[in-house]
Chain A
């Protein structure tokens, strides 16, 4: 990972954006912001979440989904990946920050409504890009 000295200081509004996401959607277990190459940047969790593993997985899954879209001739950023299981949902959203793209992962239980999750997470991405 980059040394702290080399790293741009984390924009102050990142923490606020994640806090508001969790406040808006109480059914969320946590939200993790990572660089697109899989390093954890920031997280807010209500339960135990393996943050660094999730960061790496998120970057792989988003990169694979982008590759799949490219193969079928669909280009452009701003994509998302939704994974659903019996016990809950995992939503991954690209955060197209210039210079250092990121990925937002939002984790929720089975009762979480997909539409609510998508709307709130996209709003969070908007706040991350335009404070």
Chain B
């Protein structure tokens, strides 16, 4: 049996745990602790290890879904999980004060995947903030990156599937183009 993994990252409260729960075959494994950082986010619990979900693939293989803890104190977990990952779904919470600054932290931490196109960005709570989708793509362009950016509500399974659909196409396109000489 072979195993593949995808990561979900982004700031606390962006919906990583929810997104994994929306698509995992079985109820995800959660490692949540009482959140004492109510200034960052008002939620009761926050992920401190990782969330884990899985999807069975044809042929007995397995796709593992890892939700990274959001706070940057846990960046050791990001590094460990990045090893051998197919790609990463970055979730942004547009209601936070500086969503692009948040994005910068995660893009930098998962830079290798961003550079090979294996990253997609889902913006949640777009209307609760003042940063437009265009600002996200413009910021990425300034970083020399062109990555798919979508507004999503990760409580909706279809929205999570949209992100995965785009991520898979990104990975596939990079592979196809690597096999094809420039015109």
Contacts and interface: CB of A to CB of B under 8 A. Distances in A.
Given A60-B49, A63-B49, A71-B29, A100 B76 contact: no
A29 interface: no
A63 to B, nearest CB: 4
A35 interface: yes
B48 interface: yes
A67 B27 CA distance: 13
Contact of B76 (A1, A56, A66): A56
Contact of A35 (B34, B49, B50, B69): B34
A52 to B, nearest CB: 7
A26 interface: no
A53 interface: yes
Report the interface size class on chain B: 20 to 34
A6 B42 CA distance: 13
A101 B76 contact: no
B37 interface: yes
A60 B31 contact: yes
B159 interface: no
Question: Interface majority SS on B: helix, strand, loop or mixed?
Answer: loop
A30 B32 CA distance: 26
A37 B49 CA distance: 9
Nearest to A2: B36
B36 A67 contact: no
A98 B158 CA distance: 39
Given A60-B48, A64-B49, A100-B36, A38 B31 contact: no
B143 interface: no
Interface string A42-62: 000000000011011101110
B38 A101 contact: no
B75 to A, nearest CB: 9
A3 interface: yes
A38 B73 CA distance: 8
Interface in B32-75: 32-39, 46, 48-50, 52, 69, 71, 73-74
B30 interface: yes
Contact of B33 (A1, A52, A63, A99): A63
A114 to B, nearest CB: 24
A100 B36 CA distance: 8
A1 B37 contact: yes
A43 B69 CA distance: 24
Interface of A: 1-3, 6, 35-39, 52-53, 55-57, 59-61, 63-64, 66-67, 70-71, 99-101
